[in-house]
Structure 1
Amino acid sequence: MTQQYPIGTPGKPWGDEEKQAWFEQQSKQRDYKDNVIRRIDHLREQFDVETYGELNYDGRSFPLYVVRSQNWRVDRPTVLVTGGVHGYETSGVHGALYFLETEAVNHLARFNILVAPCVSPWGYETINRWNPAAVDPNRSFVTDSPAQEAALLMQYLEVHEIAPSVHVDLHETTDTDNSEFRPALAARNGTTNDNWNIPDGFYLVADSSREEPEFQRAIIETIKPVTHIAPPDESGCLIGAPMVQEGVIEYDAKELGLCMGMTNARFVTTTEVYPDSANTNPVECVDAQVAAVRGALEHAAGKC
């Protein structure tokens, strides 16, 4: 199925005029300060909270936060949890926060914990995949990144010499991937859009260069009591990629500039929750994100 996007000329990549037209169509739909920063502030008694940068878009300032465990020890393995790299993926943001509020304390004896709950706050507020320059932060974790969202987080890890052993990046796959974001991507790039089948259920994206199949399997098993696992389509695929085991596909994370590829962590995965399923609800989606991190840490404990 193809779908023509209302901005631009089919077959012609966007220039500055089209990108500005797209930006002018975006509007604030929820509040980063009330929904995210307020919850981060409530964590200050149990965790250290640091700002690692600030985004300034359209006259507005968005401070960027990491929440990290107190009593940080260099001889202890570090887990990195990232949420809201795609700001519109709600349970990624709220799952990261809920992990800190509920589950993180259970792992402080074994890990240093570092969480960036909302990497793309402008995208969170406007419910967008891109930043205001029509750049996808989750294709921008590369040298000389075109997205401040990615560059600032990578810089923080480098300056503080943080090398995680575990990295869990929290995402969603939504119906708007087909109705909005993939058509917009094709229009921006001057290509033809072919929508993919949206998987009904939870799945993981592993890094093809660091497969760790037992790690991925442990997360899937932890998820099963919480929410349903996405079945493959008639071609044995999820979003066009072959399913390598139940609920798991693979991408080349570093080659694609994905967030999960920005470190050399041995245990790395990207979660994908489907919030538009008739078989789930917002609370279950958040619970699934927390369960995924728990499953990751329980498997990695003692192995890194």
Structure 2
Amino acid sequence: MSSAPTPYPIGTPGMPWGEAERAEWFSRQTRQRSYESEVLSVIEGLRSRFDVEEYGHLDYGTDQYPLMAIRSRDWRDDVPVMLVTGGVHGYETSGVQGALRFVDQHAAAYAGRVNLLVAPCVSPWAYERIHRWNANAVDPNRSFREDSPAGESAALMQLVAPVRDRVLMHIDLHETTDTDESEFRPALAARDGKPFKPGAIPDGFYLVDDSANPNPAFQQAVIDAVEPITHIAPADDSGEIFGSAMVARGVIQYPLEQLGLCAGLTPAPHKTTTEVYPDSPRVTPDQCNAAQAAAVCAAIDYALEHR
């Protein structure tokens, strides 16, 4: 007989957090890596080849974070916009590093054919603390909505707004990690005063399509491009991946806009969320970054071919 999950160390089971619980949670968060050295310095090195802009600024007490975007230098009104986002969840490392890798190694191949807009690290406070939430215990990837409670999400929405209706493809780069089950989902349940129901972490790469406007051929093109680099997640015994029905090999669906997810912030006909599995003994961090970059290339290539 399995034992009940250990209660999360903050809060009272069954009661949503108040200010005291959020303050206690915040007090436990420590900086574990540097946004400046791992992200900003890399972006600075790209200035000679791309346009770089600060599209927002986060102020969390003594912590200040410029929000940076990278654009094609040859921006043109007669070619489509391709949107790449990473680090909406700061702890999902390959989302950030994969986006930067794409810009450095692959973006030049699309010069003159597309307008690239890349926001590689949407949540820098969380990137430094290897966390899912922002400093207010808010998940930016449930906050892409009017009057957003997350500054990270609001700033990205403002950046994208002028070209929102011209975005042909949007790929949002994520990871599903073992800590989703050991830390982040238990914390979510505790924060919201709900019981934690244990699940299983998918062993491999998968994609999240838009259930409101599914695009199965687009998803398949991305899966095919990533498979030589990292293995694709199989369905579990219930035919699901992380609690959602697998609609095609390595593909599940969410109502992206309804849930306030980043991938739903534009009406782009080609959109997806990647989910790399970095905790597998079968992959390295470099493979995870390469898989994300390959997914971006495949997504752009498919969108260009099926305009």
Structure 2 counterpart SS, 1:35 = helix
Counterpart contact for 1:210–1:267, Cα < 8 Å = no
- Cα deviation, 1:109-142, whole Å, max 9, x if unaligned, reads 3211010000000000000100011000000000
Please state how far the C-alpha of 1:160 moved relative to its aligned partner.
Answer: 5.7
The correspondence of residues 32-43 of structure 1 with structure 2, limited to 5 A, is: 32-43=35-46
Please state how far the C-alpha of 1:210 moved relative to its aligned partner.
Answer: 1.9
Please state how far the C-alpha of 1:195 moved relative to its aligned partner.
Answer: 2.0
AA aligned to 2:258 is: E
Which residue among 93, 98, 103 is the counterpart of 2:96? 93
User: Which residue in 2 is equivalent to 1:199?
Assistant: 202
| Larger deviation, residues 89-98 vs 206-215 | 206-215
Structure 2 counterpart SS, 1:92 = helix
User: Which residue in 2 is equivalent to 1:250?
Assistant: 253
AA aligned to 2:154 is: A
User: Which residue in 2 is equivalent to 1:303?
Assistant: 306
User: Which residue in 1 is equivalent to 2:234?
Assistant: 231
Q: Does 1:126 align with 2:126?
A: no
RMSD: 1.0
Structure 2 counterpart SS, 1:52 = strand
Instruction: Provide the identity percentage.
Output: 55
Please state how far the C-alpha of 1:60 moved relative to its aligned partner.
Answer: 1.4
Structure 1 counterpart SS, 2:187 = helix
AA aligned to 2:116 is: I
After TM superposition, the runs of 4+ consecutive aligned structure 1 residues lying more than 2 A away are 159-163
Which residue among 240, 243, 255 is the counterpart of 1:240? 243
Alpha-carbon separation, structure 2, partners of 1:160 and 1:226: 32
- Cα deviation, 1:141-169, whole Å, max 9, x if unaligned, reads 00000000000110112246663110000
Task: Please list every run of 5 or more consecutive structure 1 residues that lacks an aligned counterpart in the other structure.
Answer: none
Which residue among 83, 86, 109 is the counterpart of 1:80? 83
Alpha carbons of 1:3 and 1:206: their partners in 2 closer, same or farther (altered >3 Å)? farther
The correspondence of residues 164-175 of structure 1 with structure 2, limited to 5 A, is: 164-175=167-178
Task: Please list every run of 5 or more consecutive structure 2 residues that lacks an aligned counterpart in the other structure.
Answer: none
The correspondence of residues 40-51 of structure 1 with structure 2, limited to 5 A, is: 40-51=43-54
Q: Does 1:213 align with 2:216?
A: yes
User: Which residue in 2 is equivalent to 1:15?
Assistant: 18
Structure 2 counterpart SS, 1:65 = strand
The correspondence of residues 179-190 of structure 1 with structure 2, limited to 5 A, is: 179-190=182-193
Structure 2 counterpart SS, 1:232 = coil
Please state how far the C-alpha of 1:290 moved relative to its aligned partner.
Answer: 0.5
Please state how far the C-alpha of 1:171 moved relative to its aligned partner.
Answer: 0.1
Aligned length: 304
TM-score, normalisation: structure 1: 0.98
- Cα deviation, 1:159-183, whole Å, max 9, x if unaligned, reads 4666311000000000000110000
Q: Does 1:63 align with 2:69?
A: no
Alpha carbons of 1:92 and 1:161: their partners in 2 closer, same or farther (altered >3 Å)? closer
The correspondence of residues 241-280 of structure 1 with structure 2, limited to 5 A, is: 241-280=244-283
